[in-house]
Amino acid sequence: MSFPEFPEFPAGFFFGAATASYQIEGAYDEDGRGPSIWDTFCREPGRVADGATGDVACDHYHRYREDIALLRELGVDSYRFSIAWPRIQPTGSGPANAAGLDFYDRLVDELLACGISPAATLYHWDLPQALEDRGGWRVRETAERFAEYAGVVAARLGDRVDRWITLNEPFCSAFVGYAAGAHAPGAREGRGALAAAHHLLVGHGLAVHALRAAGAREVGITLNPDRLLPATDSPADLAAVRRVETLHNDVWFEPLFAGRYPEHEAETWGELLPDGDGSYRLDGDLDLIGAPLDFVGINYYRPITVSDAPYRDADPATRTAVDVRAEETWRDDVRHTTMGWPVVPHTFTDLLVGLAQRYPALPPLLITENGSAEADTLDADGRVRDVERVDYLHSHLDALAAALRAGVDVRGYYVWSLLDNFEWARGYGQRFGIVRVDYDTQVRTPKDSYRWYRRLIAAHRARITPGEDSR
């Protein structure tokens, strides 16, 4: 039996859905949870659209069984969720909060009872505020506390969680949070952001050792590399692409998978690198950061077009924020999602093939996020006909299948996201979910994209295991 309406994937390939703690859980002050940097950021006027917060979000903390039932009906093999560090250690260190661990204990058991493999992300941006008050990711202490936290969680859940992700998109944590100021903690720094990037990687390496010591079976990290396109073929634009490549991609992939710092970091960071390298770098850090991994998670949504630009602050004596002398834009000749992001599926193939070629020792890949924000509406008959999202998912899964045919080792795919949720500084104005959430009533409504994804998963199983119900 063939299913031409769906892209085909090999036997052993799995499908899942993903969420993140601060975006869905709510219950921000219940059962001993401490404040995170996002709780603080949301309360600073002008930081988040419409003054929105994650205080309630999707109320997943109380409705997790309902959400897992949606996952079971969807037919996913795996669910990627994140653990809120402030629920486990309210001040970022010290004894574990029993109620916080109990919540994730119940969540994991419910997933397993439904035949769904748990995939736990340890850090999806909700740093305990107490650690930020002591320097946050700018200082090495936070990396050390992160490893302790990883050990505490793995000791409780490691017998049932097969797949562990240390960090989600450290680019956003370091550069959107500490350089651009658009995410928590809202800083605009240069050396502080570069130190944060390094300490995130150190924290990852220390956490890998802690997870291995606790018996973790699969350990990886999730990165969000970008497919970068020059605005023109001019030498200036090509040089700008190289600098942005350092910022977005090389600062992570080179230490993790090549055992070195980025080749072009001096020309990219300039005087922001003290003493030519960075006083926060210690002997042995590269070995620590490069600890062997079982997989690498890739989050991908859209390409970026890059053109050369002057420094926004041309005086080196006063330049304090990361500035790579480039302007980033989106293509304007294609459809855009409501995030303003261009839909160019073949760039997904290009990115994955390029990574595999550049890093021959790269571990197997998992697509840990891919999806689109669309202008969903609830029709009079109670249905969400999100045709644009179905088209986006279909075309990007086609592009992923093309990367597999080109020889890229990709083992699984998580759609972003199961639920509409708190979209960080954009508040609740963007909807990425394949399930609609009415934020006033908390009613969940599966969209047409949910039904399409369910059929795709069922068709995949029926193709590789004849006799399976293709629904």
Question: Which is catalytic among the residues 25, 110, 132, 169?
Answer: 169
CA distance 57 to 68: 17
Question: In angstroms, how far is CA 156 from the centroid of its own chain?
Answer: 24
CA distance 330 to 83: 32
144 part of the active site: no
CB atoms closer than 10 angstroms to residue 359:
15
CA distance 161 to 399: 30
Among 385, 368, 367, CA closest to 376:
385
**Tokens representing residue 224 in the block:** 């969000």
Q: Which conformational region is residue 218 in: left (phi greater than 0), alpha (psi within -120 to 50 degrees), or beta? A: beta
369 part of the active site: yes
CA distance 470 to 459: 5
β-strands 304-308, 228-230 pairing: parallel
Contact in structure between 416 and 429 (CB atoms under 8 Å): no
CA distance 214 to 120: 14
Question: In angstroms, how far is CA 191 from the centroid of its own chain?
Answer: 24
- Residue 434 DSSP code: S
CA end-to-end distance (rounded Å), the chain: 13
Question: Which is catalytic among the residues 132, 369, 374, 423?
Answer: 369
CA distance 405 to 393: 18
Q: What angle do CA 209, 166, 196 make, to 5 degrees?
A: 100
Q: Show contacts of 103-109: CB within 8 Å, 24+ apart.
A: 103/31, 103/61, 104/153, 104/156, 104/157, 105/156, 105/157, 106/64, 107/64, 107/68, 107/81, 108/157, 108/160, 108/161, 109/160
Contact in structure between 367 and 300 (CB atoms under 8 Å): yes
Specify the residue for token string 């042995």. 284
Which residues are catalytic, by number? Answer: 169, 369
